[in-house]
Chain A
Amino acid sequence: MTRNERESLPILSGLRENIARIKQLSGGSSDVLVNEFTTGGIACALICCEGMMSSQTAAEMILSPITGIAPQGSADALFRYIQTELLLSTDRPEARNYDTLFRLLNSGFAVLIADGADRALAFGVQGYATRGVQEPSGEGNIMGSHEGFTEAVRTNMSLIRRRLKSPELVMELSVKGERSRTDICLCYMRDRVPKRLLDRIRRSLEDIRLESVLSTGYIRPFLEKRSFELFSSAGITERPDVLCSKLIEGRAAVLIDGVPYAITVPRLLCESFHTLDDYAYKPYYAVFGRWLRYGAFIIAVLLPAVYTAIVMHHPELLNSTLLMLLADAEKSAPLPILAEALIVLLMYEMIREAGIRLPKPVGGAVSIISGLIIGDAAVKSGLVSTPLLTMTALAVLGGLVVPDLAPQVTVLRLAFLIAGGIMGVFGISLLACAVLTNICATEDYGFPFTAPLSPFTAAGAGDTAVRLGMRRMLRRGFTVEAYHEQDK
């Protein structure tokens, strides 16, 4: 039965028929528990989904008070009494059709039905097993909080609320996914977020037609433009403190139940080079750190390509000592340098992939075996030259400095390597033009991805190339709206 069909089915008033319908719709699923009892002189049933609710809370907060109700004339009178006289839980929605009933049931609510009532009362007693708040696996920092998002959307909402106790913080819950019925939460600061941005994000979310929402990757494409973009214009964070800083700057965020990451919109290129620690240290050190990351990104993408281009096509650019050194190292290598570089890079990607996918204890061993044994053997046997391996290692290291851009770095590094190997610096320049244009064409909701660099926005420059002191930054009263191109 489809969702629309369930939506059009009103709840039956007879208890027996109602229970039979619920069992029929759930397909007799073993985890749907029906507890029949009589209270207030009316035959009732408390339905719940095993493992989704806290038995202790249900017993203390619902079963104990509800079973001792004095006789009531009808099911409606009983429900009215429960709603007005008893505060069984803080979250008490009502279901009038089977779609809502099942959504509540599967979200950990205890649902009460009564003989003669054409509606159901639900009580929020969720208590499913979930991972606790832990340190984020990525986005590490030294001086900031060590709390990361978890899989439960309501826990994540509380992590944000704890940091932003302002009534301006709004969290709008909705449900997406025809089958998964996943809770999605749109968060924003009412006084900071540009109204147009919010309207357009709402429209984008409304347009989502998915069967299930199992990760951020299901929602992100709907928040981005359809054209081919190398870089994603919707950001991802697993840190509540980072998300709060973005909300204060006027961005909007989307939390997804079951996913310990939040999507932020709009995202700018420069954000990938910012860390929370930038604001914990003195500005001069923060500026140093930022430029180190910018440099690392360039090295990660271009170093193997430039090395290959110079050695293959422009050896005159090397001074004589370096030239001799490289010539000496390369003369024993049996493969052309482009093939050599491609093999080394692809080998690294394979090792990385193996390290991620395998169980952690084995993953570590894979890294050691491949790094030490294969790497060492390759150099000693003369298959790969030492300078090339050094360049590749440096490039890989550079990529690890900006983990946010890892997919782009990986692909661009290979593309630039091929361009540099075939056409030298000229090829690298041509590809750079195409990539630069693609980055500059990335724009969603009127916010250019390359802002505040191009188009240049003075208001944003104080926290991009440099990092101003905290007092001066606060005096700017900056919000992301300053980047909106149509406003200029």
Chain B
Amino acid sequence: MNRISKLQLAALLLIGDAFAIFCLHGRICAMTAVGFSSGSLIQLLLALPLARAYDRGRTLADCGTIVRLVLLTYVLVWGGALFAMLREASEVIYIPYERTGIFGQLAVAGLVALVCVYVSSSGIKALARSAVIAAGLGAVCVGIVVVSAGFQSDAGNLLRPTESSLWRELMRGFAASGNLGSFVVLLGFTADDRTDTAALYFTCKAVLSGVVLFTAVLVTGGIMDVLSFPVISAAQLSQPFPVQRTDSLFLVVFSVFAVYTAAVQASAAEYLIARTFPQLKRFRCTLALMILAAAGAVMSAPSQYTELYAAAALTALLIVPAEGLLKGGVRKRERT
């Protein structure tokens, strides 16, 4: 069986989380960073029963069809949301031909989907290995942007009064954690201890969310009202050299992360399709990507349905251990 390491799993999923944070729509403040980071730690606590269940030998193949269907729906919907986010973020990021009308948009989405098909069809091992390299390069680029942001930052931005609350930001954090569906699927592929794997992933996620969002608030806090994508705008405003722009670094990271995020969703969907609908096994990769792209074309970014996405993320995280508990209870009752 194809096994991946905990570092590879963390890299695969953190790329998706970073992409979701880059595409975060609407106002952000210091409380957003706190909400996202603490939300990640709560997710870690909620993921522990799942990790322990996997460590005890339970797999997704042992789960009922309903569980797999719920996860598949969530993975596909989140994949579609990612395509929608890519489409909406291209308002502020220059992608050639994206603004030349519907054909340009279709061409760009088609190109991304084509690369995703290739990336995800290469297998989970190849995807995981390349994700580590991509995440490493991304970390360097994000590091440069964060350091550059230091020159543009204003500490006063952290203290600006906002209408936000910790609860609302926690919800936003959960809503942006669409990778939890893939986490549930891919955790079963890890060769290492699943509890350690979950701890590594969610801790890194908390740190990543905190650093990126705090930096974005420090840079764009003063002009937040006029920004649609504060994190992308923060990256664009953070230039390390006075006469030289480095936006291309961010564009590279953005494009690479977009591909890997979609490919991870496609891989998770492929696995679930193969397990749930064995007759579609042969076309699972193309089918998954086609559904994702189609969903992306008709959907809008998840920022408008925060509560719905947050509830879905929570369900994805808890559904496997909950089903296990339910089955265990039924068996116990049958025995007595």
Contacts and interface: CB of A to CB of B under 8 A. Distances in A.
A453 B11 CA distance: 14
Interface residues of B, number: 36
Contacts of B115: 430-431, 433-434
Contact of A427 (B7, B96, B129, B256): B96
Interface residues of A, number: 36
Given A319-B243, A423-B111, A456 B132 contact: yes
A317 B245 contact: yes
11 contacts: A317-B244, A317-B245, A317-B246, A425-B252, A426-B108, A429-B251, A429-B256, A432-B252, A454-B8, A454-B129, A454-B132
B260 interface: yes
A317 B123 CA distance: 36
B96 A319 contact: no
Interface in B212-256: 243-248, 251-252, 255-256
B252 A455 contact: no
A436 B111 CA distance: 16
Interface string B111-123: 1100100110011
Interface string A287-323: 0000000000000000000000010011011111000
B102 to A, nearest CB: 18
B112 A422 contact: no
Nearest to A439: B130
B117 to A, nearest CB: 10
B200 to A, nearest CB: 14
A422 B96 contact: yes
Contacts of A46: none
Given A316-B245, A454-B133, A437 B95 contact: no
Given A317-B245, A436-B130, A437-B122, A426 B96 contact: yes
Nearest to A312: B96
Nearest to A486: B3
A150 interface: no
A9 B5 CA distance: 58
B112 A430 contact: yes
Contacts of A314: 94, 247-248, 251
Contacts of B127: 437, 440
Interface in A409-452: 422-434, 436-441, 443, 448, 450
A248 B95 CA distance: 50
Contacts of B130: 433, 436-437, 439-440, 454
Interface of A: 310, 313-314, 316-320, 422-434, 436-441, 443, 448, 450, 453-456, 485, 488
Interface string B82-98: 00000000000011110
Contacts of B61: none
B53 to A, nearest CB: 24
Contacts of A316: 245, 247
B134 A436 contact: yes
B248 A425 contact: yes
Contact of B129 (A426, A430, A431, A450): A450
A441 B191 contact: no
B259 interface: yes
B293 to A, nearest CB: 15
Contacts of B280: none
B133 A429 contact: no
Contacts of B111: 423, 427, 430
A426 B255 contact: yes
Contacts of B244: 317-319
Nearest to A321: B243
A314 B252 CA distance: 13
A441 B263 CA distance: 15
A423 B247 CA distance: 16
B95 to A, nearest CB: 5
Given A320-B243, A433-B115, A441 B256 contact: no
B83 to A, nearest CB: 14
B243 A317 contact: no
A426 B95 contact: yes
B303 to A, nearest CB: 23
A455 B5 CA distance: 8
B322 interface: no
Contact of A437 (B94, B126, B251, B252): B126
Given A317-B246, A455-B8, A437 B118 contact: yes
Interface in B246-302: 246-248, 251-252, 255-256, 259-260
A427 to B, nearest CB: 7
Given A317-B246, A433-B256, A455-B8, 14 more contacts: A314-B248, A316-B245, A317-B248, A426-B95, A433-B134, A434-B119, A437-B122, A437-B126, A437-B130, A440-B127, A440-B129, A440-B130, A443-B125, A488-B191
Contacts of B251: 314, 425-426, 429
Interface in B158-211: 191
Nearest to A419: B111
Contacts of B191: 488
B133 A450 contact: yes
Contacts of A440: 122, 125-127, 129-130, 133
B129 A455 contact: yes
A441 B112 contact: no
A428 B252 CA distance: 8
Given A433-B260, A439-B130, A456-B132, A488 B5 contact: yes
Nearest to A320: B243
Which of A426, A434, A436, A440 has the largest number of chain B CB atoms within 10 A? A426
Nearest to B98: A426
Contacts of A319: 243-244
The 9 tightest CB contacts between A and B, nearest first, are A441-B126, A429-B255, A440-B129, A440-B130, A319-B243, A441-B122, A433-B259, A454-B129, A454-B132
